[in-house]
Chain A
């Protein structure tokens, strides 16, 4: 059974750096074609893709947020970490991680999601 779970602070202050961890089970990020993405959703609004990290450590970022994001993985711990610098109240959202199987045997879409973690940015 594939599961993902996001963890991190529920509240951060403006200008601080947010660090979120996605802990997963049921698959390995060392398997060819396996990737993990981060997505966020402000309250009542649409989904926004943030970043993706691949089994071979390739990394991809949203063009609009690229300068503020860093994604990394710890394969031995089955974890993916996202950091976002210079947080602002507009970054208040639920942050999700999701599995993304790519390549010939993958769907390419976000097939399994974590339950999400709500982050509020406020002083």
Chain B
């Protein structure tokens, strides 16, 4: 089973700043089958990024994904108030597994 480790656990930033979230896999993720989800309190997760770097339908271009192999990054170029949430990475190249999440909170 591929274990995903997200860092940091909590990220405190202000609106307008740039956010960089990391996801490291215990072994290589095949074909960059890596996704990112956003989850707000009381809501279901929402797909942001798939294939490591492709934005899902309707996702603003301030969200971008990068990486390959075992190291992946989600970048939010300029934080909006609605971006403060919990973010999960997921690999789907070998069964499925999720990271433990990064909480992005307002500083």
Contacts and interface: CB of A to CB of B under 8 A. Distances in A.
A114 B45 CA distance: 9
B8 to A, nearest CB: 15
A46 B47 contact: no
Tell me what chain A mostly uses at the interface: helix, strand, loop, or mixed: loop
Contacts of A46: 88, 98-101
Contacts of A62: 95
Given A47-B90, A49-B96, A96-B45, 16 more contacts: A46-B99, A47-B88, A47-B98, A49-B95, A63-B95, A107-B35, A107-B51, A109-B35, A109-B47, A109-B90, A110-B90, A111-B50, A113-B45, A115-B43, A115-B44, A116-B44
A56 interface: no
Contacts, number: 58
Interface residues of B, number: 24
Interface SS of chain B: loop
30 contacts: A46-B88, A46-B98, A47-B45, A47-B90, A49-B96, A49-B97, A49-B98, A60-B95, A63-B1, A96-B44, A96-B45, A107-B35, A107-B47, A107-B50, A107-B54, A107-B56, A108-B33, A108-B51, A108-B92, A109-B35, A109-B47, A109-B90, A110-B35, A110-B37, A111-B50, A111-B57, A113-B44, A113-B45, A113-B46, A114-B44
A37 interface: yes
B95 A110 contact: no
Contacts of A109: 35, 47, 50-51, 56, 90, 92
Interface residues of A, number: 20
A48 interface: yes
Contacts of B95: 49, 60, 62-63
